[in-house]
Amino acid sequence: MADSTKYEDQKTRLYHPYQDLQVPIRNLYNLPTSPEHLFPEEAARRHRSWGENLQYYTGCGYLSGAILGAGKGTIEGLKAAEPGDTLKLRINRVLNSGGQTGRRFGNSLGVLGLIFAGLESGIIHLRGTDDLLNSVVAGLGTGALYRAAAGPRSAAIAGAIGGITAAAAVGGKQAVKRYIPI
C-alpha cells in the first residue's frame, strides 16, 4: 500500500492558487504532471501517428524553406538593384525575388519532409520499433529518392548527406533533451 502511495505522489504536484495572497485560505490541489489523454490508447502511444508525422515534417520543411528562401531572395533582389531604379521599382524587385525564391525553397523542403515522413513511418511500421536507425535510414532514402533522377552517383551522395543530417538532427534533439531540462 505504501508503494502505491509513493507512486501516486510522484505523478502529481501540489498547487496552491492563493500562495501569493496574504489570506488564510489553505486549499491545495493535486495536479497531474503528465499529459492527460481522453482515450487510454492515446496514452499508451509513445510517438506521433504517421499522419501527424506527415503534417509535421511537411509543414516544418515548407515553412523553414520559405523563410530561408525569402531571405536569400531578398538579398539577391537588393544586390540586383540598378543605379537608375526608383524606390518603387527596387521594392518591387526585392518582393518578387524574395517571393519566388521563398516558394521554390519552401516547395523543395516540403517535398523532402513529405518523403522523409513517409519513409520513417513505413520503417517504424516494418521494424516495429522507434529508434535512431529508423530516422537515419529514412534520411538516407529521402536524399537518394530526391536526387534519383540526376543519376546514381548524385543519389548516393544525396543519400549519404540525408542520412548524416537525420542522424545529426536526432542526436541533437537527444542532447537537448538530456542536457537542457525544460
Q: What is the pLDDT of residues 1-48, one digit of tens each?
A: 444 444 444 466 666 666 677 766 666 666 666 667 777 776 676 667
> What pLDDT score was predicted for residue 38?
75
The residue among 5, 64, 4, 12 whose CA lies nearest residue 34 is 12
pTM: predicted TM-score of the whole model, two decimal places:
0.70
> What pLDDT score was predicted for residue 52?
87
User: For residues 137 and 11, what is the distance between their CA atoms, to the nearest angstrom?
Assistant: 36
> How many Å is the Cα radius of gyration of the chain?
25
Cβ-contact 124, 52 below 8 angstroms? no
Higher pLDDT: 31 or 104? It is 104
Is the backbone of residue 29 left (phi > 0), alpha (psi -120 to 50) or beta?
Answer: beta
